[in-house]
Structure 1
Amino acid sequence: MRPEILFPLFAELTTVPGIGPRFTRLYEKLAGPKIIDLCWHLPVSLVDRRYAPTLHDAQPDRIATLTVTVHDHYPPANRRTPYRVVCSDNTGQIELTFFHVKGDYLARLLPIGETRVISGKVERYGNRLQMTHPDHVVTPDKQDEIKRVEPVYPLTAGVTNKPLSKAISHAVSLCPEMPDWMDRGIMQKEKWPGWKEALLKAHNPDSEDALHPLAPARQRLAYDELLANQLALTLIRQAQTARKGRAIKGNGQLREKARALLPFDLTNSQEEAVAEITGDMEGPNQMLRLLQGDVGSGKTAVALLSMLAAIETGAQAALLAPTEILARQHMESLGPIADELGLKAVLLTGRDKGKARKAILEQIEDGSANMVIGTHALFQDDVNYQDLALAVVDEQHRFGVHQRLALAAKGKSKDPLSGQVAALDMLVMTATPIPRTLTLTAYGDMDVSRLTEKPPGRKPVDTRTVSSDRMEDIIHAIGRALQSGTKVYWVCPLVEDSEKSDLAAAEERFEALQSHFGDKAGLVHGKMKARDKDAVMEAFAKGAVDLLVATTVIEVGVNVPEATIMIVEHAERFGLAQLHQLRGRIGRGADKSTCILLYHAPLSETARERLSIMRDSEDGFVIAEKDLELRGAGELLGTRQSGMPEFKLADLAFHKELLPMARDDARLILHNDPDLQSERGQALRTLLYLFERDATVSYLKSG
């Protein structure tokens, strides 16, 4: 149960004065559905209203807070001219101008002969001082209502800064003083304020420096969030590693034969990964390991040898792929090797129906199928394994944790002494290079193996950046390439303009290219039915389609060695990690490959830097680290789909040094106080609830 002290912070936004039903949805979209979400919505800039000169000394183009007397009102002669109000102090005059404002409202706001405190941007118009639509107009006794330094928050259409600022002030005022969960030594060393003081300071910056992610108040809040994240992951990890697995120790015969069948020798990092995985499998506890390898680094070979280690013991192994086409590709590469080894590999996808499906299910259940490859169909209710010992999940980020768990539940082997069901060993793989920092935050519950080399024989991809002004030249060059038997990818842009969808952009480009190349051009996009998409992909891989126009659905897993050219249109709109993933679709055969990044000028500084990194590097891990630096964790393209945590206060581009600190702190805490029963432990339970890690609290003994 969430501690009572936090109840006010988890109330709905509708309880905040000024947020009626009309605005609730807008505020939810901007910050989140609860009051605590407003507390985490930090300012991005500020308006400094401390400059309070006389009118004689007031400098144009500065925000000023002025005390003036109202002289005269001059209503407009027509609707196109402004309503003017002349004010003065004993050193000069200023004209306030208002557009589309009713005179009776202004007469009440600025009565002639009375003193008012006004704040806004001073401008010079001819030889007169002017202020258009002052931000604040109050009587002198209410001048304290004008914040001398006003925070400016990220906004969305329909929400303005003034009411949002009010709502956030209300939310922050509800924050209680809480027992501090922070280690005293860390606080003193870093000179960080207490939690509530940090929150107040973050929302009331007194200078530009206070807005920086490395300002002490902001660092403190970021550390709280990272500590909650690391504490939660460490708790999950402890619960998982305590789960009894089964010791899977084969005799090595199948693996030895398989190595002889592979057309290449394993790289050093492949050998290391195989040793780490089989070492885990031989241990008594459940294996949960992440295999990270760049596109083309040979993850499939590592997966094969891991599966054979399980099969050597008489058990089964399953390989789960996110799409049918990827599952079929795995079957095409692993099936023949299984046959040579005298094993039975079967493919199960959603497409299998009736008698064919029944026959596959029987082979899985009676154990005659040693290796099972498929899509999410592998963990449906009617799929029963005789003895599943290892599950390999490819492209991990396409599956949620619950899907991983559904597959894990298919392992049924029991410890002969205790009768306990042994937890299934799991190897999850990703071709998305993840910066080390993010690996810690998203996969801290797993051990990690990394493949850092490419298998011998892989040729580098020649990457070029070309302006879209040269579109005609590119189309002619593609015509020549198609005539020589080359296959080409043309990736369409992520569309920013809300009038137009990614799909519309792809269809438009497809029609233009089809007019040049006829039936040689094919189109795939995310809105197509899986069967239609697979048919086009099949025609591209093995048939008459030589030019594939696509949205980013081809980013992961498609293997067409004959494709040696890729055009990425509007490359400046893509993140580095995604450009790298797309480029990984080519350079898979013996022929030289070229990737053309078509950009539209003018380029922003960040876009220019991104494109030059792509031109200069093929190392996915280097590219991922650069992407994190340039875009920040929240914006790494694909983050939302990848199971990455979205931090509200921590910005890993700035706070990555805090992450190992938080990890070590979390480990030490749980080593000394495994059930968080001490005084600090109880405060840390509150921290877990504050950052909505409620589920992990269930791993603790009550108290």
Structure 2
Amino acid sequence: MKNSAFEKKTGAVGLSSSISSLKGVGAKKEEALASVGIRTIQDLLLWFPRKYLDRNLTENILLKQGESVTLILEILDSYLAHGKKTRLVVTAKTKNNEPVSLVFFKGVQYFRRVFHTGLLVAATGRLEYFRGFQLVHPDYEILSYGGNAELNTDDLPESIHVGRIIPLYPTTEALREEHLDSRGLRRLVFYSLEILKGKIPEILPQEVVSVRSFLDRETAFREIHFPSEESNLSKARTRFKYEELYYFNLLIEYKKSRRAKVPRILWPLPESRSAQEVVSKLPFRLTGDQTESLSKIEEWTRSDTPAAILLQGDVGSGKTLVALLTALRYTDNQVQVCMVAPTEILARQHYQTVLRFLGNMPFLGIELLVGKEPKKIRAEKLYRLKKAESYFLIGTHSLFQEDVEFKDLGLVVIDEQHKFGVEQREALRAKGKNPDILAMTATPIPRTLCLTLYGDLELVTLRHKPAGRKPIQTRWFTDSRRSGVYNSIRKYVQQGRQCYIVYPLVEESEKSDLKSCIEAYETLQRDVFPEFSVGLLHGRLDAAEKERVMHSFQKNEIQILVSTTVIEVGVDVPNASVMVIEHSDRFGISQLHQLRGRVGRGTHESFCILLSNSQVSEEAKVRIQALVDSEDGFLLSEIDLKLRGPGELLGFRQSGLPDFRIADLREDKDWIEISRDDAKKFGSIGDMEKNEISHRFAEGALLFSN
């Protein structure tokens, strides 16, 4: 096959070689490939096909009319056919001497030059019949420039576009502009594999390859890109799924072993008098889950090495109180604690909660640090922190800044920890003296996913809400029932209750979504509920206005709060008993469950009303009905994981998720467990393993960069 643009370069070329080491990849192509993360030849080979087309050779065309076929043809002649539109007709024959024409309406002069007598081509297209069999604008590949009357397909050179199962690749506009569509990427991958014949080393332990009967890595690369048959494609996909999961589990094991070598410097007290005082004044009893969680956390934090704990719980299960009672074991021993939240609204909510429980303990020096504060006030807070005059700091991303220094930071509490990047979490940990980490999430995570993503953390779970809280009644109505919904809101607000009305806000349509939310607020305030105070809350408001709105809502000066999903997590207004979610079909189950959790936090009967138009997708119906049927966040998260995957469950494009290229945390549960066991049994961390982990996972790159 004639492909001079991709002839092998001299010199050593390997998987780690720059993609520009391939001939034909100039600066513009290199830049386009880099835009999707392809910088080396290995990156290219790990750019797996999104699907495949079967373009194996068709033997009997008489039975294939109207179907897609792939034929080996010898070109006989060509001529222009004139009619309403001039077309090029290229006459050809199969190896069985069956006449077939190739018809082109566009690029007539170009194709007239390409298809000359004696040319041997493989052509794929829909087989039609019009005065004989024909393929209109087929996909083709030139196999030989000389005639071959026998058309012996056994002697043909290897084809990459037709006559086989062919890969179709993910692509982008930047790639397509550089002719790197599926066809272009196919050629690049094929010749990369040719250059690397015999040069692709095995990266799994030989015991694993043998025990699991895996293809070797070079064969697996060939079969996943250019499968010889479907069974080998399946074996190759399994091999690369396992490989990805194995190296992620090696990373988890490395983090655990690394932490085990770090000595504890600061110690919490086994028991806290302050915590006992707080519990004695609570108007309710701790749940069994809370008591058990506190006991487990106390045990883990008595170790000679720092603890790393994930506290997960359903909405309203009391995670924040567990974190506070844990924190008091440190502050009672003059060890500092910090708590970081992903939004200012949530940070202020935590600050108010801490003050409510611990406000009679001024010796704690409780501080709130958020983005925009007067320089003098901020400087005073930072001074008290550095001198250990303050022991409990609550804040947002502002805590990551270099000027935030602690004297003796021994506990870091990270709320909604999957919303923080690896580097951010590591930067906060580095501010302490080998501190304990208590990560919290209000999104119940299915066990399989939890063990995979957070296998290096000790896990404690809160499933049950405090006694006295009534179930939330959840109803689904279409827009035709809107006036009745508004009447219900009016009735409950007249009884002294409060209401949220939430609108979606997604990145792809943020401007129009925000406009809809603001317009709805104006209509509700002016035309629907003129007798009540209606407030508006969304992420574009400045911090002072957000604080003012939330403060007014908490004091019941605002009865109806129109909001985007900025109130999704952590907002706690016990008097709010009605949640209305507009366009509920646009939310995932877990996000709907989080929003519903903003009500039902007091002793009043509470309601969640899901509104949508009458035409919603079948999947949306499943999501909404699941919420109507259950309040169990763990059951709902399992359903959400199956429907939409871990990225949507934990939040769109969250930085806490590993960047799996081929492994699927929904479908590959068996391989997740097998790879975890093998990593423990066979795994070791040498230079090769460090390189692989760094190349695959952002957290690995951070850990091994030092």
**More divergent stretch after superposition (297-306 vs 469-478):** 469-478
Residue equivalent to 1:586: 599
Identify which of 120, 123, 126 aligns with 1:122.
Answer: 126
Contact 2:498-2:556 within 8 A present in 1 as well? no
Deviations 1:566-608 (A, max 9, x none): 3333333333332222222222222223223334565444333
TM value normalised by structure 2: 0.84
Amino acid at match of 1:598: L
1:487 aligns with 2:508: no
Where 1:59 maps in the other structure, the secondary structure is coil
Distance 1:21 1:508, change over 3 A: farther
How many residues end up aligned between the 2 structures?
670
Where 1:640 maps in the other structure, the secondary structure is coil
Residue equivalent to 1:538: 551
Where 1:613 maps in the other structure, the secondary structure is helix
Distance 1:539 1:249, change over 3 A: closer
Deviations 1:220-256 (A, max 9, x none): 1112111211212222222222211133224432222
1:548 aligns with 2:561: yes
Identify which of 186, 190, 201 aligns with 1:169.
Answer: 190
Identify which of 203, 210, 235 aligns with 2:225.
Answer: 203
Contact 1:493-1:505 within 8 A present in 2 as well? no
Amino acid at match of 1:165: R
Contact 2:313-2:463 within 8 A present in 1 as well? yes
Where does structure 1 lack aligned partners over 5 or more consecutive residues?
412-421
Identify which of 344, 349, 364 aligns with 1:329.
Answer: 349
Distance 1:497 1:403 in 2: 26
Deviations 1:242-294 (A, max 9, x none): 21113322443222221111222112221121112112222222122121112
Residue equivalent to 1:275: 295
**More divergent stretch after superposition (617-626 vs 16-25):** 16-25
Distance 1:82 1:581, change over 3 A: farther
Distance 1:6 1:407 in 2: 43
Where 2:666 maps in the other structure, the secondary structure is helix
Identify which of 216, 231, 242 aligns with 1:194.
Answer: 216
Residue equivalent to 1:451: 462
1:182 aligns with 2:200: no
Distance 2:131 2:552 in 1: 73
1:136 aligns with 2:125: no
1:42 aligns with 2:58: no
Amino acid at match of 2:599: I
Distance 1:686 1:290 in 2: 28
Contact 2:573-2:598 within 8 A present in 1 as well? yes
Amino acid at match of 2:114: L
1:306 positional shift: 0.6
Amino acid at match of 2:421: G
Distance 2:119 2:405 in 1: 83
Deviations 1:294-338 (A, max 9, x none): 221111111111111112223333323333322222232222432
Distance 1:576 1:12 in 2: 43
Amino acid at match of 1:424: P
Where 2:651 maps in the other structure, the secondary structure is coil
Distance 1:321 1:571 in 2: 26
Contact 1:70-1:85 within 8 A present in 2 as well? no
Deviations 1:604-631 (A, max 9, x none): 4433333332222222222223222222
Residue equivalent to 2:679: 666
Contact 1:267-1:453 within 8 A present in 2 as well? yes
1:308 aligns with 2:328: yes
Distance 1:301 1:326 in 2: 15
1:218 aligns with 2:218: no
Residue equivalent to 2:3: none
1:178 positional shift: 4.6
1:193 positional shift: 0.8
1:163 positional shift: 1.0
Identify which of 438, 441, 450 aligns with 1:439.
Answer: 450
Where 1:666 maps in the other structure, the secondary structure is helix
Distance 2:113 2:215 in 1: 45
Distance 1:189 1:604, change over 3 A: farther
1:503 positional shift: 3.0
Distance 1:496 1:328 in 2: 25
1:73 aligns with 2:79: yes
Distance 1:324 1:221, change over 3 A: same
TM value normalised by structure 1: 0.85
Distance 1:149 1:45 in 2: 10
Where 1:615 maps in the other structure, the secondary structure is helix
Where 1:120 maps in the other structure, the secondary structure is strand
Residue equivalent to 1:559: 572
Amino acid at match of 1:400: G
1:595 aligns with 2:615: no
Residue equivalent to 1:418: none
Contact 1:462-1:594 within 8 A present in 2 as well? yes
1:473 positional shift: 5.0
Distance 1:46 1:34, change over 3 A: same
Amino acid at match of 1:491: V
1:76 positional shift: 5.5
Contact 1:433-1:621 within 8 A present in 2 as well? yes
Contact 1:66-1:118 within 8 A present in 2 as well? yes
Contact 2:647-2:654 within 8 A present in 1 as well? no
Where 1:37 maps in the other structure, the secondary structure is helix
1:639 positional shift: 5.0
1:230 aligns with 2:235: no
Amino acid at match of 1:425: D
1:428 aligns with 2:439: yes
Where does structure 2 lack aligned partners over 5 or more consecutive residues?
1-10, 146-155
Contact 2:340-2:399 within 8 A present in 1 as well? yes
Distance 1:395 1:123, change over 3 A: same
Contact 1:468-1:598 within 8 A present in 2 as well? yes
1:513 positional shift: 3.8
Distance 1:601 1:73 in 2: 57
Residue equivalent to 2:115: 110
Amino acid at match of 1:372: L
Distance 1:8 1:551 in 2: 50
1:320 aligns with 2:324: no
Residue equivalent to 1:247: 267
1:447 positional shift: 1.7
Where 1:249 maps in the other structure, the secondary structure is coil
Amino acid at match of 2:473: D
Deviations 1:198-231 (A, max 9, x none): 12211123455666xxx32212111211121121
Where 1:9 maps in the other structure, the secondary structure is coil
Contact 1:86-1:95 within 8 A present in 2 as well? yes
Distance 1:255 1:493, change over 3 A: closer
1:134 positional shift: 0.1
Contact 1:379-1:406 within 8 A present in 2 as well? yes
Identify which of 236, 258, 262 aligns with 2:282.
Answer: 262
1:390 aligns with 2:411: yes
1:612 aligns with 2:625: yes
Q: Aligned-residue CA RMSD in angstroms?
A: 3.4
